[in-house]
Amino acid sequence: MLREISGGISSQARDRLRDLREALQARRRESEGRQTRHGLLPPEIEHIIDHAAGAIDDTMTAARSLSLAVFPELTDARLALLPLERYFAAEDGGRLFRHHIYRAARIAGARSGPAAAGLVRETVLHDAFIAARRQCGRALAALRMPGPAEARATSAAEICAVLMHEIVAPATAAAAGMRVGCYAPGLLASAWASVDGRPYVPQTLELAMLAVGARQERLAAAAAADDPVGALSALFESMLLHLA
Amino acid sequence: MPDLDFSTRLATTPDLAHGMRKLGLFCASFEDDARRVGSTYGYRFDIDEPALARAFFDWIDAIEHQSAGRRTDRADFTLFCGGLALGELVRAGPARARKAAPAVPGRRLARAAIADFWPEGFLYADFCIGAVSAVLEQELGAAPPLDPALDDMRTWWSFRENATENPALAAAFLDLFFGLSPNWTFPDHLSVRPAVGTAEITGG
């Protein structure tokens, strides 16, 4: 329980820092593109705020660059998704799940534009992970045992469906499609590693993005159905059986 | 019609009948064929990958919908699936042709006039014929012969006009290309094909 709380708090803290950085960068862009000042504050104060925002953004950018230099495995190019069941079995699986699927969601979101990528939240993944661990005991146990691909696809699809439902449920109808487009590819690629048994390769996420793009409207509609988990499971299972 | 290299290379893929029902191999094969057809006939095909993926999953859905609980001859089922794929490709339109220099300047190929008439449709048909031929070659030892109607421009006038208006008719044209009697009324209904009911779909 303590780990869950601490994971949730750290996810929230990271989301807030990312929001702050994006707000600073937006302020900076606005300031650089501004020819004349029409703010409520005197120009000298506006200038000081712009300067401070730029300095903090530079510091955060430098810190991020440094962390990627020290931990190159954190770069998107080195993203390595694990099979779904591994996240739920490992000691620090929840943290790995949030970090991996968050990055996969940012990559997928970036294809739709900066607005979509900016909507990705680690906190959402934390909550979904807790719910799936509570609800998917049988499917997770089945995935930990060897079995035919079809049966593994059924179990992996059920876990994806619960995760997707928890991710989409709090969103408005308008945001549901965008959340599907961002989060579903990472879940699908991870689930595919569970079904296929081969290690993850970046092409899997590319294929998963294509598959989700082809079924995005249906996934969003399934998430709003009377039995969202059942409807999402059927779609994920079909994608898993025909991905690669 | 299909280039021997394309068809023969595809036929070396283990369990091709199932492999073609995977998004990865389907897209890679289609893009490979688009490059080959383009360089042969002097076109560059821009591929809309999301549209290609939509065509693929709509095709999978159509196969599953049509084959549920039905019994049919394996070879005929392969042909039928090829026809459904052709229909979904025509419907989704994932390729856009742009004129480019042919691989061998000055050389006029027998089917060049057909490719010029409808380059995208020519590519879709070439891909589906190549894939069906490769699967049948792998499973039966030989690809079926193609009908001379395939080289008749009048067939292509009809194919383009009818399939763009009603993509389901593409399945009937694929039957025609392989020398079968097309069902123009219910071309995308497995249940009305003559071979249905004679055997189980094995390994479907």
Q: Do A213 and B22 touch (CB under 8 A)?
A: no
Of A58-67, A73-82, A108-117, the poorest mean pLDDT is in: A58-67
pLDDT above 90 (res A49): no
Residue A172 has pLDDT above 60, yes or no: yes
Q: Residues of A with CB below 8 A from B23's CB?
A: 207, 210-211, 242-244
Cα–Cα distance for residue pair A95/A184, rounded to 1 Å: 18
Residue from the list B25, B53, B64 with its beta carbon closest to the beta carbon of A211: B53
Quote ipTM for the complex. 0.86
- Residue A243: list chain B partners with CB under 8 A: 22-24
Of A70, A94, A124, the residue that ends a domain is A70
Residue B203 has pLDDT above 60, yes or no: no
Structure tokens at B141: 């030892």
How many structural domains is chain A composed of? 2
Q: Which residues of chain A make contact with B50, given a CB cutoff of 8 A?
A: 210, 213-214
A47 vs B146, residue with greater confidence? B146
Phi and psi, residue B184, nearest 5°: -80, -15
Sequence-ordered list of residues with C-beta below 8 angstroms from that of A146, at least 6 positions apart, any chain: none
Contact A28, A22 (CB under 8 A): no
The alpha-carbon gap from B85 to the nearest alpha carbon of chain A, in Å, equals 15
Residue keyed to tokens 């021997």: B4
Residue of A nearest to B21 (CA): A242
User: Which domain range does residue A85 map to?
Assistant: 79-241
Q: pLDDT by residue (tens digit) across A57-75?
A: 777 777 777 777 777 666 7
Q: What does the pLDDT average to over A10-26? A: 76
Give yes or no: residues A63 and A96 share one domain: no
Final residue of a domain: which of A11, A40, A70?
A: A70
Mean pLDDT calculated for residue range A148-158:
96
- Whether pLDDT at B202 is above 70: no
If asked whether residues A94 and A56 sit together in one domain, one would say no
* DSSP 8-state code for residue B45: E
CA separation for the pair B66, A50 (Å, rounded) = 63
How much is the pLDDT for B200? Answer: 46
Same domain, A133 and A48: no
Q: Are residues A134 and A37 in the same domain?
A: no
At B9-32, the pLDDT tens digits run 898 899 999 999 999 999 999 999
Domain-wise residue ranges, chain B: 4-192
Alpha-carbon distance B147 to A228, whole Å? 49
A contacts of B49 (beta carbons < 8 Å): 210
- Where among A70, A94, A125 does a domain terminate? A70
Per this entry, what is the length of chain A?
A: 244
Residue A36 has pLDDT above 70, yes or no: no
Same domain, A149 and A204: yes
- Same domain as A66, residue A42: yes
- Measured CA to CA, the distance from residue A86 to residue A148 in angstroms comes to 18
A137 and A180 housed in the same domain: yes
pLDDT in tens, A202-226: 899 999 999 999 999 999 999 999 9
Question: Which of A111, A150, A210 would best serve as a mutation to test chain B binding (most B beta carbons within 10 A)?
Answer: A210
Average pLDDT, integer, range A87-101 = 91
pLDDT number for residue A131: 96
| Confidence at residue A123, expressed as pLDDT on a 0 to 100 scale | 92
The pTM (predicted TM-score) of the whole model is: 0.85
pLDDT, one tens digit per residue, over B46-90 is: 999 999 999 999 999 999 998 876 777 889 999 999 999 999 999
> Cα dist. B82→A17, A63, B74, B196 in Å?
52, 55, 12, 16
pLDDT in tens, B80-118: 999 999 999 999 999 999 999 876 666 677 789 999 999
A83 and A42 belong to one structural domain: no
Query: Are A53 and A137 in a shared domain?
Result: no
Q: H or E stretch including B98? A: strand B95-99
Q: What is the pLDDT of residue A170?
A: 86
Q: What is the mean pLDDT of chain A?
A: 86
**Are A198 and A84 found together in one domain?**
yes
Q: Is it the case that residue A199 has pLDDT exceeding 60?
A: yes
Name the β-bridge partners of B45. B97
Residue A3 pLDDT > 60: no
Write the CA distances from B183 to B84, B88, B145, B190, integer angstroms: 13, 18, 19, 10
Residues A45 and A109 in one domain: no
Give the pLDDT score at A120: 87
Residues of chain A positioned with their CB less than 8 A from the CB of B22: 242-244
- Considering the domain architecture, whether residues A50 and A132 belong to the same structural domain is answered as no
pLDDT grade, residue A35 (50/70/90)? Answer: low
Q: Test A210 with B50 for CB contact under 8 angstroms.
A: yes
Which of the four pLDDT bands, split at 50, 70 and 90, describes residue B41? very high
Distance between CA atoms of residues A8 and A185, nearest Å:
23
